[in-house]
Amino acid sequence: GAGVSQSPRYKVAKRGQDVALRCDPISGHVSLFWYQQALGQGPEFLTYFQNEAQLDKSGLPSDRFFAERPEGSVSTLKIQRTQQEDSAVYLCASRGLSYEQYFGPGTRLTVT
Amino acid sequence: KQEVTQIPAALSVPEGENLVLNCSFTDSAIYNLQWFRQDPGKGLTSLLLIQSSQREQTSGRLNASLDKSSGRSTLYIAASQPGDSATYLCAGNAGGTSYGKLTFGQGTILTVHP
């Protein structure tokens, strides 16, 4: 595709619900990153994939957060038993051969 | 651990002014530094990427510099326009075993008024 796409763009979840956020990277990009952006803050790293391998998940805030990229293309970030502190914008980025990262529009998650 | 700070947090200028946004980082072993623009409710748009071996990059009215020894980068915007109003973020990439993950500053909110 022309750029990184994410869905849904907005998600409202009741506390305790599970959510799944999708990222479609730029075609052919091997590297995929997830970031979390709280209101008024810069994005913070969550996890990194190289093809289907999750090489770094050091930024995931708790074991309620899980990410996968089974075929090395589309990635899903899943949050189980959502809490109010999970409310944020979740950004996905992909990268080709250079170090420049290209970001999607993000998914704004609101937990009520 | 890399920490990135941006000053000022917010800036308001009249149209036509030249301006400088500042970014400082604690770990000089930086592989590259990337400047982004974020419009309200949108994702990040990459503006410039400076490799550690470079001192500056230019794109149109934008010029970014990198000084690893002092741990600083600046983004210079010439002849500002109202359409430049956005949040500007800098992010450092430590490279190597960090897999290129970015460490972001908190951003500078820029308002250019007509």
pLDDT at residue B52 in the model? 85
DSSP A41-58: S--EEEEEEETTEEEE-T
pLDDT digits (tens, 9 = 90+) for A51-97: 999 999 999 999 999 999 999 999 999 999 999 999 999 999 999 88
pLDDT at residue A10 in the model? 97
Taking the C-alpha atoms of residue A60 and residue A39, their distance in angstroms, rounded to an integer, is 18
Q: B23 to chain A nearest CA, in Å? A: 13
pLDDT digits (tens, 9 = 90+) for B51-104: 888 899 999 999 999 998 899 999 999 999 999 999 999 999 876 666 788 999
Going by C-beta distance under 8 Å and a sequence separation of 6 or more, which residues neighbour residue B96?
B31
Residue A50 has pLDDT above 90, yes or no: yes
Percent of chain B predicted with pLDDT > 70: 96
pLDDT at residue B96 in the model? 65
Within the 32-51 window of chain B, which residues sit less than 8 Å (CB to CB) from chain A? Answer: 32, 34, 36, 41-46, 49, 51
The stretch B18-23 carries a mean pLDDT of 96
Q: Which residues of A touch B50 (CB under 8 A)?
A: none
Confidence of residue A1 (pLDDT cuts 50, 70, 90): low
Within the 75-94 window of chain B, which residues sit less than 8 Å (CB to CB) from chain A? Answer: 89, 91, 93
Q: Cα B23 to chain center, whole Å?
A: 6
Q: Is A97 exposed, middle or buried (0-12, 13-18, 19+ CB in 10 A)?
A: exposed
pLDDT at residue B95 in the model? 67
B44 to chain A: closest CA residue: A103
Going by C-beta distance under 8 Å and a sequence separation of 6 or more, which residues neighbour residue A2?
none
The answer to whether the beta carbons of residues B91 and A42 sit under 8 Å apart is yes
pLDDT at residue B29 in the model? 81
pLDDT at residue B92 in the model? 92
pLDDT at residue A53 in the model? 96
Strands B10-14 and B108-113: parallel
pLDDT at residue B84 in the model? 97
Q: Which amino acid appears at position A58 of this protein?
A: S
